[in-house]
Structure formats: C-alpha cells, structure tokens
Amino acid sequence: MLIWGRLNWLARIVLVCLIGPSLYLCWLPYVPRLKTQNPQTTSLIHRRIRQAQKKGRELKPKRVWVNLGSISPNLVHAVLLAEDDTFYQHSGFDFDQIKIAFQINWQRKKFAYGGSTLTQQLARTLYLSPSKNILRKLKEAIITVWLETVLTKRRILELYLNCVEWGDGIFGIEAAARHYYGKSASVLSTEESVALASILPSPRKWSPLRETPFMRRRRANLISRMPQIKAPETSAVSISSISMGNNKLPPQTNNQSFVNEIESGPADDEEGSPESP
C-alpha cells in the first residue's frame, strides 16, 4: 500500500505536469473576431501599464485607430522592408529568417535575434508576453497560423500598424505620426516613414528624431531599398498587391552590428515582464 501510495502521488504529479502545459496551449483567443472588430487593447499595452506602475508612474497610452487606406504607402513600404519584406509571400513564418536567427543565437549562446514575421509579432503584441520559453513560442506559432488562416494579409497589416509600439506610451502609426511629426499618418513623407520604421526593433530605446551613426546607416539602407518595391498601383487601397521583389534577406539581418545595437542598452521588456500567457 505504501508503494502504491507513492506511485499514486507520482502519477498525480506527472498528470499535473502534463495537463498544465496542455491547458496553457489550449487556451486561445478567438482570432476570427478580428475580421470585423478592432482590438480595444493589447497584451503589450497592459504590460507597459504594469511596468510603469512598478516604477510609480501612470502610463496613459496614446492610440488612434486608422484604416490601412488612411496610412501613407511610404510608411507601409518602409515597415515591410524593415520588418518583413516577404510578408506577401509567406504564410506566417519566414524560414530563411528563422535559419539566420538560429545561427546567430547558436553563436551567441542566447536569444539575440528572433527573425519573427509581422504576423508572429502581431500574435505576440495582441495576446502574449515576450518570454522566450518554449510553451510561449508554441502558442505564438498556433496563433500565427490561425491569424494567417482567417484574416487577409491586408487586415493583418492594418492590425499590426495600429497595435505596434512606437515609443513610450505610443501605440499605432497614427499616434506616432501625431506625436513625432504633428501630422496624420496619411501624409507621412518617405524620410519620415523610414525614420519611424527604423526604430521598430527597439522603439523605446530609439527615436525617429534622434540621429546616431547606427540609425543613419539603418535609414540609408531602407531608403536605398525603397525603389525595389514593385506595386501595380500607387494608392494605399491596392497595398495588398505589392510585390517586394527578390529581396528575401534584408541586409541588416546578416549584419552582426545590427544585433549588437539591439542588444546594447536597456531592453524594451526588461522590467518585470510576465512569463505567461
């Protein structure tokens, strides 16, 4: 009986260890809702508010929702080049970028570079934490597949541009355009768009208004690549038909200085980021 009792407890422990992760992975947000409803808030916004509270200050997020057609094509082009230039070719995952990320991380013996697509970033921004644990990564992958399955590329891009962080308390491109340039996102110039897109890897560390040698190089790289975008029409309405050409691997992803610059200084999620969900 004593042995049976011990085995019984061991069995319970194993069961809990199996059920816990399974329940975590099975809890999923209802992604199809995003087809017609704009998210009122995000996991990222909640995390930033909590982080500010821990520092004894109040964070009032700045956020103004706009349709994709009301965003300058210059900004859309710059963001796609900076963050995911195969957006219209992949189904949620860029395996070339994943390979590069694996090589960089293996060399550094840590997670130095992610290689995430816009869809993966959107899943994380809307619903998850920045934790690097495997369960969170698996959940991100599941949500990414669901996003790509039920939403159009145009809708995913619209959600991303309205939810992504562009500075301390600044979320979405319209709030960013007003904050930095005092204008609507619909009239952003090429230079302004490139400056905004260039800070996305670390938007609370960098500013589109501040010049550093690294930022000048990054902006020059994006400017030089802007002509590579091929669009049959120039209107924002036709943005979903944009072809990014064959520039599958952005130059900065092969540049160790790019990773070095992101790693240096305080990380965007250093203050008490939750491990889950």
41-250 maps to CATH 1.10.3810.10: yes
Question: With the C-alpha atoms ordered 217, 223, 227, 232, is the resulting torsion angle positive or negative?
Answer: positive
Distance CA 96, CA 224 (A): 22
pTM for this model (two decimals): 0.77
Phi, psi of 178, rounded to the nearest 5 degrees: -70, -40
The pLDDT, as a whole number, for residue 160 is 98
The pLDDT of residue 143 is 94
Residue 121 has pLDDT above 70, yes or no: yes
What residue spans define the domains of the chain? 41-250
pLDDT in tens, 160-208: 999 999 999 999 999 999 999 999 999 999 999 999 999 998 899 999 9
